[in-house]
Amino acid sequence: MTVKSIAEVDFKSNISTEGITLVDFSAPWCSPCKVLLPILNELSEEIGENITILKINVDDSPSISAEFGVMSMPTVVLFKDGEPVEKLVGLRPKSVYTTLIDKHSSK
């Protein structure tokens, strides 16, 4: 699996109501976002069957970005069973995302 890019109109229908969904709010011009994408692709390959990873372009989706308080990029929001449970602002090492996913997968 790879990270799936979605549009604002498809946002709610792509958030899994069961399990974990990780949403990357980013922009094509954002340098840290470009570094994050390969990390998320690796995570998707490693644990893709247990998680949905989505990417949304904040420039194309201002309403949903505002709804989740995205002020800086990248911002990653983790959803569990359709509800937002964690928010990370800024680029983090892969281990941080893995730990976050593990934390919520075990509950």
Which CATH number goes with the domain that contains 17? 3.40.30.10
Residues 25-58: tens digit of each pLDDT: 999 999 999 999 999 999 999 987 789 999 999 9
Specify the number of domains making up the chain: 1
75/36 Cα distance (integer angstroms): 10
Residues 78-88: tens digit of each pLDDT: 999 999 999 99
39/16 Cα distance (integer angstroms): 21
Instruction: Give residue 35's domain range.
Output: 4-105
Q: Which residues are catalytic?
A: 30, 33
